[in-house]
Amino acid sequence: MEILEAGQGTYQLQDYQKERETFDWKQVEKAFSWSETGKVNIAYETIDRHVNEGRGDKKALLYSDKNREESYTFSELKEKTDQAAHMYRNLGISKGDRVFIFMPRSPELYVALLGAVKVGAVVGPLFEAFMQDAVKARLEDSEASMIVTTPDLVSRIPHEDLPHLKTILISGDSDKTGSSEKFVSMDEKLAEADTDDSAIEWVDLEDGFILHYTSGSTGKPKGVYHVHKAMLQHYQTGKWVLDLREDDVYWCTADPGWVTGTSYGIFGPWLNGVTNVVRGGRFSPDDWYGTIDKYNVTVWYSAPTAFRMLMAAPQETLKNHDLSSLRHILSVGEPLNPEVVRWGWDVFNLRIHDTWWMTETGAMLICNYPSEPIKPGSMGKPIPGVDASIVDDHGNELPPGEMGNLAIKTGWPAQMRKIWNNEPKFNEYFAIEGWYVSGDTAYRDEDGYFWFQGRNDDVIMTAGERVGPFEIESKLVEHEAVAEAGVIGKPDEIRGHIIKAFIALREGYEESDELKEQIQKFIKSELAAHAVPREIEFKDKLPKTRSGKIMRRVLKAWELDEPTGDLSTMDDN
């Protein structure tokens, strides 16, 4: 078997085996100011602590997009987030209130998010590509009282249908402000707010700070609720896995609309006090290599889809940039193909380190480490302080080599504490006593490395984003031509999977390419661009159970030309 040996350097996690035997999460608490008071705030530890410990002049944020290029020190971010916190207070926001952040990546987003956490609010980041229905579902479920947004996105907020939503705070010039008492200018309210430093609301370790909506195979999107205590793991994995050091320039390419973009786009790096790069705008290979070159990025956390797109880009794109600053590269979100690891080794002379975790787990759990050998194709081994295993449906642990449910012993610091308003859903994850069951299938080898095999539900990972088939199917059947719809992931070289929809049309509608495009546009304008089925296939009828549930398993088998398996529950009318 092919193995990439560890480098010879000195790393934050030097002796994996020893840490596994001796590490205790209690040790990490000493890094934080609250080990004495017991009162915490993750935003304080992320920004203010560095100022109070004399690192205020250090660059915290290096931001750029097509039109802007800015940098902020920890002191500057402290002042701005304090001001935002006072603004939220003035607008009546207090501990536990849900404040949504619906903005493109920009310094204002980071200030809005951390300012809200400072006053004890629970922030709900929303990806900027979400359209009206997706926005509405999340605001409704969370009963958010405020959303912070920009003039370009504000029209997607159906404020009249959302009685709990009191304030729509618009960052930047907008003709909406003042048109209803809900629309408020953020710039104006910020100007009125103090900047003194009494902004922090001290809370308990078990109080919530973030609600990330994510998809399952059935039902509405789920609000995954995380508490301040998660900082222990954001901080510690920032050391062990990201291998962050004092003078690193770190770049996580994920958007804060997804958990990677908060846990490791905000908290992991800043809890460790490193300089964090944020690049606004869309992906392009030239731009990405340019970003590494311009800022001399040393540690880079990205996703297989992005690496595959870089692989497919013309060689010149790579040659035009100096990428020699890179020291450590990591990946998350989907299986990292051995082929991509080999490419990384060829072009950067570095190993790409795969990491496994989920929105629900809040932070990294199974990882590859700079000081350990990498087996390309494997997700690596559990972090110290966490036990992972492969279990059968009754909770029996399976021996090496046998496939089963990837499960984690409950009780790690960043574990979700609830699914918002949905206790039954939450409990489903913990149906096997003592274990969190991930929904992924995997096996463990003799050396303790975990190998991902697939999802055992119908969740689709496309281009690193997680989409639930149900939300798309529900939207599809709202289209006038669509009688029934079933949605699956179809394997794709670059994106991992693409979304494919099988559609049965209503009477009176004829299949055509125009109709396909029309349906795609409909999803794009009402749900989100990343939820659009790239492929649509029309069928006379779809396979259903007798209770009327679309059998996605059969659709998948059709797609892959595989046997359809047991059809005893299928309705054959």
**Interacting span for ligand WT7 (CB under 6 A) from 12-20, 329-337, 487-495, 541-549:** 329-337
Nearest partner of 142 among 126, 119, 130, 118, judged by Cα: 126
The yes or no reply on residue 556 touching ligand WT7 (CB under 6 A) is no
DSSP 256: T
Give yes or no for a contact between 330 and 301, defined as CB atoms under 8 angstroms apart.
yes
Question: Binding string, 448-467, against ligand WT7, x = CB under 6 A?
Answer: ----x--x-----x----x-
**Number of Cβ atoms within 10 Å of the Cβ of 318:** 16
β-bridge mates for residue 101, sequence order: 125, 148
The rounded distance, in Å, linking the Cα atoms of 471 and 460 is 12
For the bound state, the minimum distance from the C-beta of residue 364 to ligand WT7, rounded and expressed in Å, comes to 8
For the bound state, the minimum distance from the C-beta of residue 428 to ligand WT7, rounded and expressed in Å, comes to 14
The yes or no reply on residue 379 touching ligand WT7 (CB under 6 A) is yes
Q: Is 205 helix (H, G, I), strand (E, B) or coil?
A: coil
Binding ligand WT7 by CB under 6 A: which of 359, 371, 415, 462? 359
**Interacting span for ligand WT7 (CB under 6 A) from 43-51, 180-188, 332-340, 483-491:** 332-340
Residue 335 or residue 382: which is nearer to ligand WT7 going by CB? 335
The yes or no reply on residue 333 touching ligand WT7 (CB under 6 A) is yes
For the bound state, the minimum distance from the C-beta of residue 27 to ligand WT7, rounded and expressed in Å, comes to 25
The rounded distance, in Å, linking the Cα atoms of 512 and 508 is 13
The rounded distance, in Å, linking the Cα atoms of 447 and 449 is 6
The yes or no reply on residue 528 touching ligand WT7 (CB under 6 A) is no
For the bound state, the minimum distance from the C-beta of residue 553 to ligand WT7, rounded and expressed in Å, comes to 17
The rounded distance, in Å, linking the Cα atoms of 474 and 480 is 13
The yes or no reply on residue 369 touching ligand WT7 (CB under 6 A) is no
Binding ligand WT7 by CB under 6 A: which of 88, 270, 356, 443? 356
Residue 101 or residue 503: which is nearer to ligand WT7 going by CB? 101
The yes or no reply on residue 210 touching ligand WT7 (CB under 6 A) is no
Question: Binding string, 419-438, against ligand WT7, x = CB under 6 A?
Answer: -------------------x
**Interacting span for ligand WT7 (CB under 6 A) from 21-29, 57-65, 352-360, 391-399:** 352-360
The yes or no reply on residue 357 touching ligand WT7 (CB under 6 A) is yes
Residue 207 or residue 458: which is nearer to ligand WT7 going by CB? 458
The yes or no reply on residue 291 touching ligand WT7 (CB under 6 A) is no
What sign results for the dihedral spanned by CA atoms 9, 15, 17, 20?
negative
What sign results for the dihedral spanned by CA atoms 462, 467, 470, 471?
negative
For the bound state, the minimum distance from the C-beta of residue 366 to ligand WT7, rounded and expressed in Å, comes to 8
Residue 110 or residue 258: which is nearer to ligand WT7 going by CB? 258
Residue 32 or residue 412: which is nearer to ligand WT7 going by CB? 412
For the bound state, the minimum distance from the C-beta of residue 379 to ligand WT7, rounded and expressed in Å, comes to 5
Site residues (CB under 6 A) for ligand WT7, limited to 215-274: 259-260
Residue 29 or residue 440: which is nearer to ligand WT7 going by CB? 440
Binding ligand WT7 by CB under 6 A: which of 29, 133, 334, 484? 334
Q: Give every CB contact of residue 504 below 8 A, 6+ residues apart in sequence.
A: 482, 483, 484, 485, 538, 539, 540, 541, 542
The rounded distance, in Å, linking the Cα atoms of 514 and 531 is 19
Residue 266 or residue 379: which is nearer to ligand WT7 going by CB? 379
The rounded distance, in Å, linking the Cα atoms of 63 and 534 is 32
Buried b (16+ CB within 10 A) or exposed e, 37-66: eeebbbbbbbbbbbbeeeebebebbbbbbe
For the bound state, the minimum distance from the C-beta of residue 442 to ligand WT7, rounded and expressed in Å, comes to 9
DSSP letter string, 48-92: IHHHHTT-TTSEEEEEE-SS-EEEEEHHHHHHHHHHHHHHHHHTT
**Interacting span for ligand WT7 (CB under 6 A) from 83-91, 159-167, 351-359, 501-509:** 351-359
Residue 139 or residue 358: which is nearer to ligand WT7 going by CB? 358
Binding ligand WT7 by CB under 6 A: which of 29, 207, 248, 440? 440
What's the residue count for the chain?
Answer: 573
The yes or no reply on residue 285 touching ligand WT7 (CB under 6 A) is no
Size of the site for ligand WT7 (CB under 6 A): 21
The rounded distance, in Å, linking the Cα atoms of 52 and 74 is 10
The yes or no reply on residue 439 touching ligand WT7 (CB under 6 A) is yes
The rounded distance, in Å, linking the Cα atoms of 469 and 11 is 42
For the bound state, the minimum distance from the C-beta of residue 259 to ligand WT7, rounded and expressed in Å, comes to 5
The rounded distance, in Å, linking the Cα atoms of 437 and 431 is 8
Q: What distance separates the 2 farthest-apart alpha carbons in the chain? A: 73
DSSP letter string, 499-543: EEEEEEEPTT----HHHHHHHHHHHHHHTBGGGS-SEEEE-SS--
Structure tokens at 180: 């209803």
Q: Is 419 helix (H, G, I), strand (E, B) or coil?
A: strand
The yes or no reply on residue 472 touching ligand WT7 (CB under 6 A) is no
Q: How many Cα neighbours within 13 Å face the side chain of 419?
A: 19
The yes or no reply on residue 414 touching ligand WT7 (CB under 6 A) is no
Q: Which residues bind ligand WT7 (CB under 6 A)?
A: 214, 259-260, 332-335, 354-359, 379, 438-440, 452, 455, 461, 466
